[in-house]
């Protein structure tokens, strides 16, 4: 006689719990150790249509990081790091480009003296940049100003943390 397994409404939840228990606990996130020019801390920023992962980046003031910007989306994206003045300057500059093609063009620029960082990444591309975080930067965030992307919410927060903090 054949036997059968019958799952009730709670069955899938029970199976998921058993699988999780067998897999073991995930490794704990290590405390943040600030990067130096000799040994920068690596920070990944993944651009996806139309968001960033993680949605919040933890940085230590004055540390040196190796930013890895990865475009896991289907269209060109950018990472602009700066305060709201920098974000507004790039949003305005890219919106003002006449009939912009998809993505940034060499004719897009912001007013002289506008601080910040801009990294452009094509679909599937990885771009890395060595950067020393300012010691007194004020409020910084990350944004994509390819036309329409900022309006769709393509933004991420930067949180300044103390060395040794566990994110």
Query: 47: pLDDT confidence band, cut at 50, 70 and 90?
Result: very high
Residue 88 is predicted with a pLDDT of 94
Whole-prediction pTM value?
0.77
The DSSP annotation for the chain comes to --------TTHHHHHHHHHHHHH-PPPPPPPP----SSSPEEEEEEEETTEEESSEEEE-TT-EEEEEEEE-SSS-EEEEEE-HHHHHHHHHHHHHSSSPPSS--TT----TT---EEEEE-TT-EEEEEEEPPSS--S-EEE--STTTTTTT-EEEEEE--TT---
Higher pLDDT, 164 or 130: 130
pLDDT digits (tens, 9 = 90+) for 81-98: 999 999 999 998 888 764
Domain boundaries, the chain: 32-160
pLDDT at 20 over 60: no
Task: Name the CATH superfamily housing domain 32-160.
Answer: Cupredoxins -  blue copper proteins (2.60.40.420)
pLDDT at 131 over 80: yes
């Amino acid at each position: 006689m054949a036997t059968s397994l019958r799952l009730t409404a709670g069955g899938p939840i029970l199976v998921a719990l058993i699988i999780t228990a067998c897999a073991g606990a995930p490794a704990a996130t290590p405390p943040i150790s600030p990067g130096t020019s000799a040994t920068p801390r690596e920070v990944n920023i993944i651009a996806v249509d139309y968001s960033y992962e993680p949605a919040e980046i933890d940085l230590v003031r004055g540390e040196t990081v190796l930013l890895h910007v990865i475009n896991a989306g289907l269209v060109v994206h950018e990472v602009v790091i700066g305060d709201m003045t920098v974000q507004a300057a790039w949003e305005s500059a890219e919106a003002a480009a006449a009939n912009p093609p998809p993505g940034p063009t060499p004719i897009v620029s912001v007013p002289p003296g506008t601080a910040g960082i801009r990294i452009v990444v094509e679909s599937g591309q990885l771009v890395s940049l060595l950067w020393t975080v300012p010691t007194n930067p004020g409020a910084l965030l990350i944004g994509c100003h390819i036309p329409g992307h900022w309006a769709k919410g393509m933004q991420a927060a930067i949180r300044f943390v103390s060395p040794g903090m566990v994110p």
